[in-house]
């Protein structure tokens, strides 16, 4: 696919596609380098031919490419076996005999290669046709092969970007690996491998997981002329390297390459044991406390007592849902050096998996193009092989401003990317790199760095001016709509009615950087929108990116970030690959979630924007169960999990969880483990190399292949599931990603326009079982929940240097609107069929993980008892009633123990998590602020949407940067109805405090004792709402808000005291007043 070849826009429904800004005609498909033959996978030389002119084939079983010298060397000095299938080498003509040849037959096995099933003419005839069809397909340059014809049944597909192909075929559940071969000249005859179904697949080397490491070890031995390191390894297990005389450093390197790519770092038991003990004690104390509250009603204030008890019971249930998913917190550590030894050795082609990175944006006025440009630049400069990274920017607002800003970004990237990689710049977003207040010369040793940095800073400032000019120009929309530079009308002038648009800015043929190196692919995508179609907001845009990326690049893994989340750690992709490419762990990992970190937040984090408690405590706890929830950004997905496939589970994974074991006992093992199937019928993991037969083949059966018919999905069923695109369907079957190198780019672009058309998802399972799930504005929670319900696990990766950093709303109103959207999404899930309270019990969702998901959808309901509980202290102060009767010593003991256990739990939790007490306290304050405002509105809006069908508008959170640097946005007052409930609660409690103190003053010293309990709860509410009060009052000429609050309170109290004392009244006046009214007036 060619970069800078012009933007392609079109509509599949209207059968039209046009090329816009087409500067130069494409030169056609990139022609791969022609080779005279296959490449030896041991020494890298040409395999060569035999005396008869045929390609030399060392192994007649698997045709693993090995040249004649390496074949002779292995027979004489090696273990005389094929490195792939472990079959003993046969003696070829011209080869000297070695020990063991006498036992072999004296005829050439090549003549009997296809005669393994003698007497079965029908099978031979069928296979012969397939061989002929496979051979002919190599000479035909069909860009889109049919799924039902022309595919060899050999069980192997060489993927250009993968080192192995992991698959499951039928009941064997074995793991297959196919070597990633170099490009083969179609004009050269290629031996076709036929697998005998009657033989064990392990005889073909399909069960071996580390033959690649042996081959790499042989390469080092050939180059360094060292003694052999012969060894054999069983499947999935390492072994001791045998042989004598080997260098110790090389032994250590080979051993490190076989070590796990990550490890779990358990939290010390000295931290966890007291923590768990206190939780159990708190649970017991809470039970006794509630028993006392229920059995001791307050007769003279029965309504207040009843409301308080109901609230306290709900708070106890809410605490259980939040606390127990944190029972098994863990930390993780990755080993990037081992990843490099295994998949990314210096001087050799990288074997890292290809990754497609998604960036989503909607409104360039709320999401400034400069911020989006910095995110894209940090992606293009990531520390990952350039041919393995593709960046897709989704413009769901079809804004020409975004398109032109991305065009400018692609030009600036040619200078910025080589600068970052040459000098190891961190972070690689220029706006945040140049704004760092640090010594930028630290650890820099190249003399040219200072001059290069000065030049690059000037280049970036000029780039900012160009972006700012585009933003200024976009403020006023022309009457006739926007026009592109070549005079063509912008296709997206109507954001609700426009064709699909794709522009490839950078790529393998789209130009080089300033140093002459390739750049990662950069693609602009704006999906088609038409009136009358449901587009599903962000979830629909992400699903469109899944399809278009599968057609154009088909990376095995996907990473999505918001437009304001730049790559703060250039090695974050490798951090994710330590889990996803791990041979043991990667089979069942659906995604790797990174924590969110933020720039530009005020020092004290007034509104808990950092969410430290959630990211550093809650998600760590979930990582020890089944994995963290998906939080919407900074997440690297396994593409197969998004396609709705089931994970590859081991026997241990199929064991029932601890709750089932304790209640029902262990489950008996059955001969065939039935996997979890959704009601809609989740797709079982199928072999990505087995062709998909048509309906006639399924009905009549394939003679000679004993395969369950249920595992053979027809083309029609795949189209019903994935849509009417054969190219995309073919891509879904390639687990390790990649597209054929001879594919016609023009055909791919046409197919890409097709898969982003507005009607493509009609009558398919997109948004139901595949991709991002529809039905909630918080599609992230729903999508992750569906994956976990199928049995996938997720990983929480917290590198020392944060992987991503973004911006957060500083203003109180913007923050509350953001929380409102999250809470509304939770209510939508709660009232849907995907509610974790009743969904997915036939799957593999673990019990504590389900509790966590239940907590994420019911937490907005806590706003109802919370706002009632916050009003109770004021009502008690105003009515002189209380929710608790006269406290005895027995009751006071449980009260004191409850408060002590709450404090102890918090302290021990902060101890093992490393969270500061200030962050914990800010989280507690904003829990009350959000609960009395945004969560309350979300409950009623969710009920209106589900019951009455009244939809609410999706508000994009403003992501404007703090340009002044003094957090001026923090003090801006923006009125919203969300401010009414907490303001009311605050005023009522302040009035209650004044009324309570005045009553105590008038009643004498005996009334101060009962007053303290009421004042404590009222002040508890005021203290929690204090940040809200600061935001409500604004800057107030920089007068501290606490001064204003205490001034009002103290002024009211002293005024009441003044009236009570009345110092200007004479004794005679007081006596006359007393005589007129009496003592009991």
3-state secondary structure 949-1015: CCCCCCCCCCCCCCCCCCCHHHHCCCCCHHHHHHHHHHHHHHHHHHHHHHHHHHHCHHHHHHHHHHH
Task: Residue 990: name the closest of 958, 1025, 960, 956 by CA.
Answer: 1025
Find the catalytic residue in 599, 605, 616, 780: 780
CA 375/CA 385 separation, integer angstroms = 18
Catalytic: 962? no
Task: Residue 1013: name the closest of 245, 298, 119 by CA.
Answer: 298
With left for phi above 0 and alpha for psi between -120 and 50, is residue 969 left, alpha or beta? alpha
Question: Could you tell me the two tokens for 761?
Answer: 């998802």
Main-chain phi, psi angles of 1037, to 5 degrees: 55, 35
Helix (H, G, I), strand (E, B) or coil at 394: strand
Is the separation of the CB atoms in 945 and 785 below 8 Å?
Answer: no
Which one-letter DSSP state was computed for residue 267?
P
DSSP per residue over 570-597, as a string? TTHHHHHHHHHT-TTTGGGEEEEEPPPE
Please tell me the number of Cα atoms within 13 Å of 363 on its side-chain side: 11
Catalytic: 515? no
Could you give the C-alpha distances from 708 to 79, 170, 172, 639, 689, in angstroms and in order? 39, 7, 11, 26, 16
DSSP per residue over 59-101, as a string? -TTT-----HHHHHHHHHHS-SB-TTT-PBPPPPTTPPP-TTG
Residue whose tokens read 């800015």:
505
CA 774/CA 770 separation, integer angstroms = 10
Task: Residue 1021: name the closest of 1056, 984, 1050 by CA.
Answer: 984
CA 917/CA 921 separation, integer angstroms = 6
CA 54/CA 71 separation, integer angstroms = 16
Sheet strand arrangement including 521-526: 16-20, 7-11, 500-506, 521-526, 389-395, 355-361, 557-562, 635-638, 589-593, 793-796
Helix (H, G, I), strand (E, B) or coil at 332: strand
Question: Could you tell me the two tokens for 462?
Answer: 């000029």
CB atoms within 10 A of CB 1054: 10
Residue 593 forms beta bridges with which residues? Answer: 635, 796
CA 303/CA 467 separation, integer angstroms = 62
> Which residues touch 927 (CB under 8 Å, ≥6 apart)?
none
Is the separation of the CB atoms in 352 and 556 below 8 Å?
Answer: no
CB atoms within 10 A of CB 943: 13
CA 574/CA 268 separation, integer angstroms = 28
> Which residues touch 395 (CB under 8 Å, ≥6 apart)?
361, 362, 402, 403, 492, 524, 525, 526
Is the separation of the CB atoms in 272 and 912 below 8 Å?
Answer: yes
Find the catalytic residue in 356, 387, 395, 396: 396
How many residues would you count in the chain? 1081
Cα of first residue to Cα of last residue in the chain, in angstroms, is: 95
Is the separation of the CB atoms in 84 and 62 below 8 Å?
Answer: yes
Residues annotated as catalytic are 396, 780
């Amino acid at each position: 696919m060619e970069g800078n070849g012009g933007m392609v826009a079109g509509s599949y429904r209207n059968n039209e596609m046009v090329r816009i800004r087409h500067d130069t005609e494409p030169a056609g498909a990139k022609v791969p380098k022609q080779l005279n033959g296959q490449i030896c996978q041991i020494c890298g030389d040409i395999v060569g031919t035999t005396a008869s002119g045929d390609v030399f084939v060392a192994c007649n079983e698997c045709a693993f490419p090995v040249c004649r010298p390496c074949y002779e060397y292995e027979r004489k000095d090696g273990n005389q076996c094929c490195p792939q299938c472990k079959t003993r080498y046969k003696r070829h003509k011209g080869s000297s005999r070695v020990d063991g040849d006498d036992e072999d037959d004296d005829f050439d096995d090549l003549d009997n290669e296809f005669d393994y099933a003698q007497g079965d003419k029908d099978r031979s005839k069928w296979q012969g046709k397939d061989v002929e069809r496979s051979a002919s397909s190599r000479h035909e340059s069909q860009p889109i092969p049919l799924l039902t014809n022309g595919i060899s049944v050999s069980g192997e597909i060489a993927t250009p970007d993968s080192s192995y192909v992991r698959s499951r075929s039928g009941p064997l559940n074995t793991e297959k690996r196919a070597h990633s071969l170099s490009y083969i000249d179609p004009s050269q005859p290629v031996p076709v491998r036929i697998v005998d179904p009657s033989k064990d697949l392990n005889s073909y080397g399909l069960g071996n997981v580390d033959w690649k490491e042996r081959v790499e070890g042989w390469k080092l031995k050939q180059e360094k002329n060292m003694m052999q390191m012969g060894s054999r390894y069983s499947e999935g297990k390492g072994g001791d390297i045998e042989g004598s005389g080997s260098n110790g450093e090389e032994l250590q390197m080979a051993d490190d390459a076989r070590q796990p790519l990550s490890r779990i770092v358990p939290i010390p038991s000295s931290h966890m044991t007291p923590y768990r003990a206190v939780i159990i004690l708190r649970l017991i104390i809470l039970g006794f406390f509630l028993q006392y509250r229920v059995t001791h009603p307050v007769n003279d204030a029965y309504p207040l007592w009843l409301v308080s008890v109901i609230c306290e019971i709900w708070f106890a249930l809410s605490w259980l849902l939040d606390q127990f998913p944190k029972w098994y917190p863990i930390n993780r550590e990755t080993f990037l050096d081992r990843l490099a030894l295994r998949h990314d050795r210096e001087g050799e082609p990288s074997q890292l998996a290809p990754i497609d990175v998604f960036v989503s944006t909607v409104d360039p006025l709320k999401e400034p193009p400069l911020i989006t440009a910095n995110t894209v630049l940090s992606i293009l400069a990531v520390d990952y092989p350039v041919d393995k990274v593709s960046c897709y920017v989704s413009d769901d607002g079809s804004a020409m401003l975004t398109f032109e800003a991305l065009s400018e970004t692609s030009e600036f990237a040619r200078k910025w990317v080589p600068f970052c990689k040459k000098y190891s710049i961190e972070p690689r977003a220029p706006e945040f790199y140049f704004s760092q207040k640090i010594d930028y010369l630290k650890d820099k040793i190249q003399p040219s760095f200072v001059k290069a940095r000065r030049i690059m800073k000037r280049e970036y400032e000029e780039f900012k001016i160009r972006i700012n000019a585009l933003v200024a120009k976009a403020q006023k929309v022309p009457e006739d709509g926007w026009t592109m530079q070549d005079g063509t009308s912008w296709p997206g002038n109507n954001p609700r009615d426009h064709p699909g648009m794709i522009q490839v800015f950078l790529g393998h043929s789209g130009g080089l950087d300033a140093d002459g190196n390739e750049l990662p692919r950069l693609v602009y995508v704006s999906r088609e929108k038409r009136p009358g179609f449901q587009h599903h907001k962000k979830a629909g845009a992400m699903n469109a990116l899944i399809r278009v990326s599968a057609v154009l690049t088909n990376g095995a893994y996907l990473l999505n970030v918001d437009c304001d989340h730049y790559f703060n750690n250039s090695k974050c992709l490798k951090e994710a690959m330590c889990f996803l490419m791990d041979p043991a762990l990667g089979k069942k990992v659906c995604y790797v979630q990174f924590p969110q970190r933020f720039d530009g937040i005020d020092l004290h984090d007034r509104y808990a924007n950092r969410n430290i408690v959630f990211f550093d405590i809650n998600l760590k706890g979930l990582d020890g169960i089944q994995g963290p929830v998906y939080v919407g950004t900074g997440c690297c997905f396994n593409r197969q999990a998004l396609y709705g496939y089931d994970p590859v589970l081991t026997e241990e994974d199929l064991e029932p969880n601890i709750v089932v074991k304790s209640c029902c006992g262990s489950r008996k093992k059955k001969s065939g483990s039935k996997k979890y199937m959704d009601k809609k019928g989740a797709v079982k993991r199928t072999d990505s190399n087995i062709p998909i037969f048509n309906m006639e083949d399924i009905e009549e059966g394939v003679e000679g292949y004993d395969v369950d018919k249920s595992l053979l999905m027809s083309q029609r069923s795949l189209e019903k599931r994935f849509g009417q695109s054969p190219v995309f369907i073919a891509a879904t079957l390639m687990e390790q990603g990649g597209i054929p190198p001879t594919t016609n780019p023009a055909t791919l672009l046409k197919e890409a326009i097709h898969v982003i058309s507005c009607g493509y998802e009609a009558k398919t399972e997109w948004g139901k079982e595949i991709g991002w799930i529809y039905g909630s504005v918080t599609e992230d929670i729903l999508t992750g929940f569906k994956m976990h319900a199928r049995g996938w696990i997720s990983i929480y990766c917290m590198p020392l240097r944060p992987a991503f950093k973004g911006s957060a709303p500083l203003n109180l109103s913007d923050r509350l609107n953001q929380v409102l959207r999250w809470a509304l999404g939770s209510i939508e899930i709660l009232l849907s069929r995907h509610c974790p309270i009743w969904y997915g019990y036939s799957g593999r969702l673990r019990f504590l993980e389900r509790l966590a998901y239940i907590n994420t959808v019911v937490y907005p309901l806590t706003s109802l008892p919370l706002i009632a509980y916050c009003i109770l202290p004021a009502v008690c102060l105003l009515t002189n009633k209380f929710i608790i009767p006269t406290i005895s010593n027995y009751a006071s003991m449980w009260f004191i123990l409850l408060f002590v256990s709450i404090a102890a739990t918090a302290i021990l939790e902060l101890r093992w998590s490393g969270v500061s007490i200030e962050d914990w306290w800010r989280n507690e304050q904003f829990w009350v602020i959000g609960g009395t405002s945004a969560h309350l509105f979300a409950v009623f809006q969710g009920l209106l949407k589900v019951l009455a069908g009244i939809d609410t508008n999706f508000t994009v959170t403003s992501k404007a940067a703090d340009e002044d640097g003094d957090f001026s946005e923090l003090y801006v007052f923006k009125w919203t109805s969300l401010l009414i409930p907490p303001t009311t609660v605050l005023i009522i409690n302040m009035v209650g405090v004044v009324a309570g103190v005045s009553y105590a003053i008038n009643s004498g010293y005996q009334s101060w004792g009962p007053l303290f309990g009421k004042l404590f709860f009222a002040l508890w509410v005021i203290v929690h709402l204090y940040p809200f009060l600061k935001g409500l009052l604004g800057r107030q000429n920089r007068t501290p808000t606490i001064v204003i609050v205490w001034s009002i309170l103290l002024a009211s109290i002293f005024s009441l005291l003044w009236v009570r004392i009345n110092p200007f009244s004479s004794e005679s006046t007081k006596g006359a007043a007393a005589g007129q009214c009496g003592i009991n007036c």
